[in-house]
Amino acid sequence: MKILKDTYAVILAGGIGSRFWPISRESRPKQFIDILGTGKTLIQDAYDRYLSIVPKENVFVITNASYRDLVKEQLPDLGDNQILGEPVGKNTAACVAYAANKIADISDTGVLIVAPSDHLIMDKSNFINQIHIAHKYAKETDALITLGLKPHRPDTGYGYIQYDEKEVSKGINSVKTFTEKPPLELAEKFLESGDFLWNSGMFVWRVSSILKALEEHLPEMNLTFGECKGAYNTNLEEQHIERIYSEIASISIDNGLLEKADNVFVLPSDFGWSDLGTWKSVQEKLEKEGDNTTLNVDLHALNAKDNLVVSDTQKLVVIKDLDGYFIVDSADALLICKADQEQEVKKISSDIRKLYKGKYS
């Protein structure tokens, strides 16, 4: 498909990847790691994907300012102006507001694609096709479009979108409700109903449309970023952003804006997506070695099955009489936990950080 002109991709790359501890650390989180052993880090894979959609100079990365050098190291083709450094993480609404204001200074007619850096997309050609469908509708209307995925299990780690099955345009449906990470019982009901999708966290909208929505639903944040007008895309941008970030509220774009707006639409999609949010999601994408799944290890398994064994240095691992465990080995830390406790890894990482005063974070 053709490259979309006057279209900009913003890759969100500020997370610390605590659910992938101990391989992912604050100093080098999961988006900068080849978490699936493909030869590319997740952010490199995302960057290559968007080069098939927009011009190279229209790809931007927003990240924590402390990761600027990592971004430059892994994406050397990016210019300094294409890396947006946040002084401190303030969730996705701030990311969207910063990027939208910066790109509005370049083009007030442009279309913006916003997407995380750490997702896996297996069917790249279908993904590109879906973006083109969303792009067409966003360009013609003031629609705020999110890409939604059909759920195949009652996962409590995702947001859910309820949608109207009647299309308003080719492939595009109205959104009824957003629900952020429901409890298991509610997630099961969503799955049974058939009219809910997982929220992928990927969005398509015109720059003017999202700025109008920010003005209406997050007016204080909108005004604060508006204070930097005239500094965007100049050598004054960084100091202005540094100055205002203490005033910015920390809220997701879903909670702060999309749940309130009446012009939100969804494109039900299927392109082999995973948010790679937990070790379980990695286990599902890797090929099994016998009864177990491995990455970067030689495994000798004795009466052991359904385990994920990962190391950041090639080594022999021997396991015996284990069923359904994650065994994740780094240079200075080893995690062993039951696979059905995957959502606990984030808490474990946080507890370790406090207990050892940041030594293993």
Give the confidence band of 153 by pLDDT, cuts at 50, 70, 90.
confident
pLDDT in tens, 38-92: 999 999 999 999 999 999 999 999 999 999 999 999 999 999 999 999 999 999 9
- 227-276 pLDDT tens trace: 999 999 999 999 999 999 999 999 999 999 999 999 999 999 999 998 88
**The model scores a pTM over 0.85:** yes
Domains along the sequence of the chain with CATH: 7-274 (3.90.550.10), 279-355 (no CATH)
Task: Out of 184-188, 310-314, 335-339, pick the least confident.
Answer: 310-314
Instruction: Provide the mean pLDDT of the chain.
Output: 94
Q: How far apart are CA 256 and CA 308, in angstroms?
A: 37
In the chain, the amino acid numbered 351 is D
Residues 69-83 pLDDT 10s: 999 999 999 999 999
Per-residue pLDDT band for 277 (boundaries 50, 70, 90) equals confident
Q: Which of 186, 192, 247 is closest to 220 using CA atoms?
A: 247
| Whole-angstrom distance, CA of residue 38 vs CA of residue 356 | 33
Residues contacting residue 158 through CB under 8 Å, at least 6 positions apart:
151, 181, 198, 199, 275
DSSP H or E segment with residue 238: helix 237-244
Q: Rounded to the nearest 5 degrees, what angle is found at the Cα of 354, between the Cα atoms of 68 and 159?
A: 65
CA distance 347 to 344: 5
Residues 126-140: what's their mean pLDDT? 97
pLDDT of residue 158: 84
**With the C-alpha atoms ordered 255, 261, 262, 266, is the resulting torsion angle positive or negative?**
negative
Do residues 345 and 18 make contact, with C-beta atoms less than 8 angstroms apart?
A: yes
- The CA distances from residue 136 to 8, 189, 238, in Å, are 14, 33, 33
Instruction: Specify whether the CB–CB gap between 276 and 159 falls below 8 A.
Output: no
Side chain identity at residue 234, one-letter code: T
How many other CB atoms are there within 10 angstroms of residue 67's CB atom?
A: 26
Q: Is 274 exposed, middle or buried (0-12, 13-18, 19+ CB in 10 A)?
A: middle
Whether the per-residue pLDDT at 145 is higher than 90: the answer is yes
Asked if 327 contacts 308 with a C-beta cutoff of 8 angstroms, the reply is: yes
pLDDT at position 197: 96
* pLDDT tens, position by position, 166-214: 999 999 999 999 888 889 999 999 999 999 999 999 999 999 999 999 9
Going by C-alpha positions, the residue among 3, 102, 117 that lies closest to residue 53 is 3
Helices (H) and strands (E) in the chain, counts: 11, 16
On whether the CB atoms of residues 51 and 43 are closer than 8 A, the answer is no
What pLDDT is attached to residue 180? Answer: 81
pLDDT score of 333: 94
What does residue 299 show for φ and ψ, rounded to 5 degrees?
-110, 130
Q: Which long-range contacts (CB under 8 A, 24 or more apart) does 30-37 make?
A: 30/118, 30/276, 31/117, 31/118, 32/67, 32/70, 32/74, 35/276, 35/282, 36/120, 36/276, 36/282, 36/285, 36/286, 36/295, 37/286, 37/295, 37/296
Which residue bears the tokens 């969730």? 91
Instruction: Give one DSSP letter per residue of 149-182, joined into a string.
Output: E--SS--TTS-EEEEEEEEEETTEEEEEEEE-S-
Q: What is the pLDDT of residue 181?
A: 84
Q: Six-digit token pair at 219?
A: 């007016």
N- to C-terminal Cα distance for the chain?
A: 43
Cα gap 3→21, rounded to integer Å: 37
Tokens at 342, concatenated: 């995957």
Residue 215 main-chain phi, psi, to 5 deg: -60, -40
